[in-house]
């Protein structure tokens, strides 16, 4: 089996590198961040994820190495970030481009370079291919977009189907063979353009479904109907599967990828655009709910209102584009005076004003709790909310005395 150099050891690159190593592949994980590499070399993982520490142990036993340097070999997996400009809605492909450039400086002739980072459709042709074409060495570009869901990454890495987009069936098969060392799901071979588009379509599908649930939530709020009960019953129909309403859509994927289609196809992508707007409107909708409940219950001191949860979803430590951050940004922009207390067990660094780091102190400080993220901690502590006003945006509480979105 080929040696594999995984470039970028973040949320996707690290589990992928560990998975390959623990299935007998010689792996070197490379990241330009020195402290991250030092942490890994010291035997510690760099983020929290179910099953990651155990997988890390297996990979260390199998001899995985971590480095700041690129290695010379014939197989690379690039899993670097594709940052996104919230104003222009464009991704910045420069990390991918720079990683591929550096790979080209080190790689063997005829090396395979797999890009796993999510890119907007056409990025490989527009930005990556020209770099490869501009130099003498011949390499094979492949796009194999990641599909694993934070919170269940290790399981999904093993079991999800994978898409491999390559210029020829032979190269796609070689890449498929590397992934099939660990992947038990179907490995689908296609071309690069189709692989790029498929990935974005998958996340857009989910965004639209969540937007539908959120729009139903607003409709039901207007006439005091129970949206969750309606969705629960509707979903009994064999061809209906509506997702759950919530305080908004965060994370670096679902709230970002649909914008690529809106940006490139503004005339066609009307539904996709509208869904994004509905999901982006949810944090403001939560603020309206807080204001109306506060009015109803005579709460005037907003510093006694606590926002529970800062991450973009439950049981992860990732705060990118999180609905809570969107909510706080909305409050700031609208000039409202709402000095909330904020707490999240997964966020230990100071991120926002009013943030507290102790759950007990947070509960003592507030009379009104807004559950924005359904972390296991709050699920296990529901009795501690007795006597408080609760707005449950995630359907954590069964108790009908709580307020809902
Ligand atoms: N959310 C809701 N209601 C729901 C489901 C989710 O409001 O019913 C919210 C979440 O709370 C969160 C956001 O949507 O804020 C996105 O969370 P998620 O769990 O739906 O998805 P991600 O962003 O963690 O991961 C997605 C996955 N894509 C799909 O399911 C199609 C994952 O498989 C991808 O690998 C990942 O994006 C990615 O990296 O692209």
- Name residue, tokens 């670096």: 252
Question: Could you confirm whether 220 is annotated as catalytic?
Answer: no
Q: Is the residue at 337 inside a domain?
A: yes
Residue whose CA is at the smallest distance from ligand 1 atom 13? 249
Flag whether 116 is in a domain.
yes
Tell me, yes or no, whether 122 and 266 share the same domain.
no
Distance of CA 126 to the CA centre of its chain: 25
Residues 178 and 206 in one domain: no
pLDDT digits (tens, 9 = 90+) for 110-152: 999 999 998 999 999 999 999 999 988 999 999 999 999 999 9
Mean pLDDT score across all residues of the chain: 96
Strand order in the sheet with 305-308: 355-356, 341-343, 305-308, 368-371, 389-392, 403-404
In 3D space, the residue among 171, 206, 204 whose CA is nearest the CA of residue 189 turns out to be: 171
For the CA of 206, the closest atom of ligand 1 is: 31
**388 shares a domain with 241:** yes
Q: What is the pLDDT of residues 365-397, one digit of tens each?
A: 999 999 999 999 999 999 999 999 999 999 999
Same domain, residue pair 180 and 251: no
Ligand 1 atom having least distance to the Cα of 257: 40
Domain C-terminal end among 190, 224, 251 = 190
- Give ligand 1 pocket residues (Cβ under 6 A): 118, 146-150, 202-203, 206, 210, 243-244, 246, 249-251, 253-254, 312-313, 323
User: Which one of 73, 107, 183, 199 is the catalytic residue?
Assistant: 199
Both 96 and 16 in one domain: the answer is: yes
Residues 183-194 pLDDT 10s: 999 999 999 999
Which tens digits make up the pLDDT trace of 238-273? 999 999 999 999 998 999 999 999 998 999 999 999
Ligand 1, atom nearest to 247 Cα: 7
Determine, yes or no, domain membership for 195: no
Residues 222 and 288 in one domain: yes
pLDDT value, residue 1 = 66
Q: Do 225 and 145 share a structural domain?
A: no
Active site residue 253: yes
Q: How many structural domains are present in the chain? A: 2
115 CA from centroid of ligand 1 (Å):
21
Query: Nearest-CA neighbor of 4 among 14, 20, 15, 12?
Result: 20
Are 102 and 26 found together in one domain? yes
Under DSSP, the state recorded for 312 is: S
341 and 258 housed in the same domain: yes
Side-chain-side CA neighbours of 387 within 13 Å: the count stands at 5
Domain holding 296, by residue range, is 200-404
- C-alpha 266/C-alpha 13 separation (Å) is 32
Residue 209 burial (CB count, 10 A): 16
Q: Examine the domain organization and report whether 333 and 393 are in the same domain.
A: yes
Q: Which CATH number fits the domain that encloses residue 79?
A: 3.40.50.720
């Amino acid at each position: 089996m080929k040696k594999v150099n995984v470039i970028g050891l973040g949320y996707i690159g690290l589990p992928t590198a560990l998975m390959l190593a623990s299935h007998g592949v010689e792996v070197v994980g490379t990241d330009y961040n020195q402290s991250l590499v030092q942490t890994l070399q010291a035997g510690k993982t760099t983020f929290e994820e179910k099953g990651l520490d155990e997988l890390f142990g297996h990979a260390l036993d199998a001899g995985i190495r971590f480095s700041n340097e690129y290695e010379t070999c014939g197989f690379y997996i690039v899993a670097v970030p594709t940052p996104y400009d919230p104003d222009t809605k464009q991704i910045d492909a420069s990390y991918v481009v720079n990683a591929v450039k550096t790979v080209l400086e080190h790689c063997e002739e005829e090396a395979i370079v797999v890009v796993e980072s999510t890119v907007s459709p056409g990025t490989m042709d527009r930005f990556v291919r020209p770099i490869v074409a501009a130099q003498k060495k011949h390499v094979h570009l492949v796009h194999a977009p990641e599909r694993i869901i934070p919170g269940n990454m290790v399981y999904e890495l093993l079991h999800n189907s994978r898409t491999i987009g390559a210029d020829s069936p032979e190269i796609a098969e070689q890449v498929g063979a590397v992934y099939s060392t660990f992947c038990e799901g179907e490995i689908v071979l296609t071309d690069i353009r189709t692989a790029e588009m498929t990935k974005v379509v998958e996340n857009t599908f989910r965004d639209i479904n969540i937007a539908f649930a959120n729009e139903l939530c607003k409709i039901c709020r207007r006439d005091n109907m129970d949206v969750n009960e309606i969705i629960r019953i509707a979903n009994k129909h064999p061809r209906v599967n509506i997702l759950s309403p919530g305080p908004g859509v965060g994370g670096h994927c679902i709230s970002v990828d649909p914008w690529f289609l809106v940006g490139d196809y503004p005339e066609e992508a009307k539904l996709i655009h509208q869904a994004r707007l509905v999901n982006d409107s949810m944090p403001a909708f939560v603020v309206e709910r807080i204001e109306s409940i506060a009015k109803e219950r005579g709460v005037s001191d907003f510093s006694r209102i606590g926002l529970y949860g800062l991450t973009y979803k439950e049981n992860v430590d990732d705060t990118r584009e999180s609905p809570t951050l969107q909510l706080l940004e909305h409050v700031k922009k609208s000039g409202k005076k709402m000095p909330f207390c904020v707490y999240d067990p997964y966020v230990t660094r100071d991120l926002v004003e009013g943030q507290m780091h102790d759950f007990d102190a947070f509960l003592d400080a507030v009379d009104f709790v807004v559950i924005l993220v359904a972390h296991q901690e709050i699920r296990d502590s529901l009795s501690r909310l007795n006597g408080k006003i609760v707005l449950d945006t995630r359907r954590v509480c069964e108790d009908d005395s709580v307020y809902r979105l």
